[in-house]
Structure 1
Amino acid sequence: MGELALDGAVRPVQGILPQIMEARRMGRKRIMLPRANAHEGTPVQGVEIYPVASLKEAWELLTSSVLPPPFTASGREGREAEDKEAAVDFDEIKGQPYARRAMEIAAAGGHNILLCGSPGSGKSMLAQRLPTILPPLTPEEALETSKIHSVCGLLKRGNGLVARRPFRAPHHTISDAGLMGGGANITPGEVSLAHNGVLFLDELPEFRRAALETLRQPLEAGQVVISRASGTMTFPCRFMLAAAMNPCPCGYLGDRRRTCTCPPAQVARYRRKISGPLLDRFDLLMEVPAVDPAILASAPAGECSAGIRARVMAARQLQRSRYAGTPFRSNAALSGKALQRHCRLLPEGRAILLRAVEELALSARAYDRILKVARTIADLEGSPDIQDPHLYEAVQYRAFEHSLRE
């Protein structure tokens, strides 16, 4: 497989990895492909890879009485690129203890999180460091993710598999096709490129409302279906949604040092760009206040990503054991009877939650998401049951939703 140029060169093509996997399923043992695509075939066991750079090399390989050794890759180039991407760490964030706690809970349970605060409060820094506290990709997840990146031609040269959880941060001017997938030749969009990782939407109200509304179904189903005249394609898209926004158009509503200049009607219009159903898809809604300059100048660095990731991985291990043999991978994915079975509350806890739902005018979906977050908080503490303090903390992460809807 490959593309033959008029001068006899063999050019790379996209989607090599899923094609090799299908060829193996059909019983093929050896694959000849473009040299630039060679690294994409190395993760597939049971298939020998023979890269060529020209039609002449392909002919010589086919007519040779003795085959050369199959291709093997060290992956050094890919690892160097991955190490460069991993240069950020949570210890670079000063202050914001409550926002850091919310990010830890989100990572531990795979929850969606919305951060709201004035410019410079650290919202983007927090979101960009979210992948550094997530567990490593499992072999199955790495293969799933790599197949999508292979189709889009995004696998790094020298590394056949995506080694770290994806972090995708599209600009707010992105088109529907760019976000969800599509085009003349249907290709995955940002939601699928973020599969098993994080999709970060900065300046959330600046995205077109129609584009934001298309996220609702994929967030629930974990897949996106693209239908065109040429056919229908289904792409996986199980991702954590992290978003950031200002409290108002000027960004300084509620700031202690700067005065907001936005009229109330303008603030209301700005916030209405995010619909109630979309807000319901967030498990944690966190207000991120501006950091005091004295803290920036004198406070020591916060806890590093490695320390937070250790707690996150311990909580995820509890979830893997609990949900073994089920389609669920994390607390955020729970639904139906599984949610009722694994998030049971004592009578006191049910009273607390019902009172919160009534006072904050929350939806039934928000009720379920509070339960999932409380389950994650209990897992972080190693508690087999959801206790009242876990529930109180989970409710606090929905309280900010009330102010956003006002």
Structure 2
Amino acid sequence: MTTRPRRDPHAERARTVLGPSGRKRRLPPGPVRPRKDPHAPRAHAMPGPSGRLRLDPHGGELVHLHGIAPAPAAAAEQPLVVSAPSCLVLAVLDLPGGRLEPADLGLLAAARDLADRLDGAVLALTLHGRHDLARQGVDRHAALELDPAWNPDAATAAISAVIERLAPRHVLFTDHPLLGADRARRLAVASGLAAAFAVHRLDESGLRARGGGIDLVGPLAPILTLHDILLADRPDATLREARPVQVDLPPAPAGGIEDLGEIPVDLTGAPLSEADLVVSAGDGVRDWLCFHDLARQLNGTVGGSRQVCDRGLLPRDRQVGASGTLVAPKAYLAFGISGAPQHLQGIEHCQRVVAVNTDLHAKMIERADLAIVADAQAVMPALAALLRERRHG
């Protein structure tokens, strides 16, 4: 019969050592297995496909065993180049005030779509300075520096020089009355090229435009102005070449129009559909004198909700919403408007919405880019006083 040897407690106490915390630790009999270093795997870490470090718990043995090399650093993104296009589609940007507006982006998206259908390239023309258009679907970019003063004859001569130099198959403009549409009509008269206006459907086979209350169908014209329906998209963010194109400007013609600059105009009663800034009131507004004073200080167009117009506090033509006027200003200030579905439909295309309401959970607060949870009667006079202070120093 085999007996198990008895443990010697004295021998075990002899193998007692002090641990890192100062307390005594008893080592087990026999050889001691070395502790694993938890920091060792990091020394053999390698970047994975996403660039994040991946740890090898085997201390680098798998890396050396399988011959896995560290992933190379991500290469710089290369632009998409259209070297030999079948044609050029010229997009003449409006750039009101030197800014790249949503209508300009929509024009570039439409030009990109048409150029892809024709196996061509997009040529963008900016008349006042250079903008970074490499991620706006642009293959070629002609950046001109015209005098900022309004001179339609000089703009027509510059566009004609670009057409003579690069011979685009189609020239696209927005249908903005004072910018793209005006330039397109002047270019058509000066060049004698056929033109189609307010085009709302466009492909390589033809177009559909609106004129005189009816739809006009025909082949693609050399000069096109695009309706807002075609300007709603945005160009793909793919990096493209946007190759600079040099165009020599002709001498500025001695026009018969002299730009005397802007004059102050009261816009509080301007049509809502044409307003750049709308100051709108809802049921939460009780101090109407302060509301109208703030609208005058901001020189913003007055609007209101359906409830306000139903009560006769504002005329019916001031109603914003699906049952009133659809607005698309650069900024929309909503005071005391809760945000009924019909009203939210009416401001769907506003670039920026500022809402003032006491209800944190109001739909207008959720829709707003900037929300102020406060009483409109406290915010309106404070904002009006601030505007007066800045205006008068």
| TM tier, smaller | under 0.3
Determine which structure has greater relative contact order: mean sequence separation of CA pairs < 8 Å that are 6+ residues apart, divided by chain length: 1
User: Which of the pair has more CA radius of gyration?
Assistant: 2
With normalisation by structure 2, the TM-score equals 0.25
Q: Which is helix-richer, 1 or 2?
A: 1
With normalisation by structure 1, the TM-score equals 0.25
Q: Which is strand-richer, 1 or 2?
A: 2
